[in-house]
Amino acid sequence: MKLFRNVFGRSEPPAANLDNLFALPSAAITLEVATGFTATGVASVCYRQAEGGAFETAQRDVQDLLDADGGPKVERTTDDFGYTWLVCRADPSDLSSLVNDVHAVNSALENAGFGPSLLCSLVSFADQAGRRFALVYLYKQGTFYPFAPDGTKQRDNALELQMKGVLEAEMPIEPDLSRWMAVFEAPGL
């Protein structure tokens, strides 16, 4: 069916898969037990801002919604590629509320018809030794991959592959390594 649509030149941007994101809290427990990495309480959502007033409205609404709970304010930044990042913060021990915040952003954009604009979400982790990495959730694939920056332009591939091994049983990990894109510019990492 997808092939048929494509051959007739009607490919549409795929809808985002929002559900697999909820695999995060239980995977985080496994991660802590196996490797000592814990969540830092920072998560971010990355999306492509569409032109026009409708997107502006949807974006403002979701920011107001998240700021209404009295917790830390949501930060909005734009990276060098023109993608927008919304950074949510919560108590590091309460990963589920962080995931709920991220989900609120996702569903608000989806309801406004901008689900296809979602690129990825990041939840960052750190261990006692100060090493950091993020679990990146790809909306279109519905899979996760670990991203461990090592300096500004290098990746710690060994750590990434180690995390892949630990988490494989807990959550869908992106099997195609070429899709583990680098997101050095992600805020809150």
Partner 1 sequence: MASTRFRSDAGLTARMSLVMLLLGGLYVSVFAALAVFTNLSGPFLLFLAAAFGIGQWYFSDKLAMKAMRAKEVSAAEAPELHGMIDRLCAMADMPKPRVAIADMDVPNAFATGRSPQHSVVCVTTGILRRLDRDELEGVLSHELSHVAHRDVMVMTIAGFLGVAAGLVMRWGFYFGGGRGRNSAVPFIVIWVGSMVVYFISFLLTRVLSRYRELSADRSGAYLTGKPSALASALTKISGDMARIPTRDLREAQAFNAFMFAPALNRESVGALFSTHPPLEQRLEQLASISSDLSRPTN
Tell me if 49 contacts partner 1 by CB under 8 A: yes
Phi, psi of 89 (to 5 degrees): -125, 145
Binder of partner 1 out of 22, 26, 36, 54 (CB under 8 A) = 54
Build a one-symbol-per-residue string for 62-101: x at contacts with partner 1 by CB under 8 A, - elsewhere.
------------------xxxx------------------
Edge-first strand order for the sheet with 83-89 is: 75-78, 83-89, 38-48, 118-126, 132-138, 143-147
Tell me if 6 contacts partner 1 by CB under 8 A: yes
Binder of partner 1 out of 7, 68, 129, 169 (CB under 8 A) = 7
Binder of partner 1 out of 1, 4, 52, 169 (CB under 8 A) = 52
Report the alpha-carbon distance of residue 133 to residue 139 in Å, rounded.
19
Alpha helix stretches (DSSP H) within 68-177? 95-111, 157-167
Build a one-symbol-per-residue string for 126-165: x at contacts with partner 1 by CB under 8 A, - elsewhere.
------------x-xx-----------x------------
The least distance separating partner 1 from the CB of residue 50, rounded to whole angstroms, comes to: 3
Report the alpha-carbon distance of residue 83 to residue 130 in Å, rounded.
28
β pairing state of 38-48 and 132-138: unpaired
Identity of the residue, 90 or 109, whose beta carbon is nearer to partner 1 in the bound complex: 109
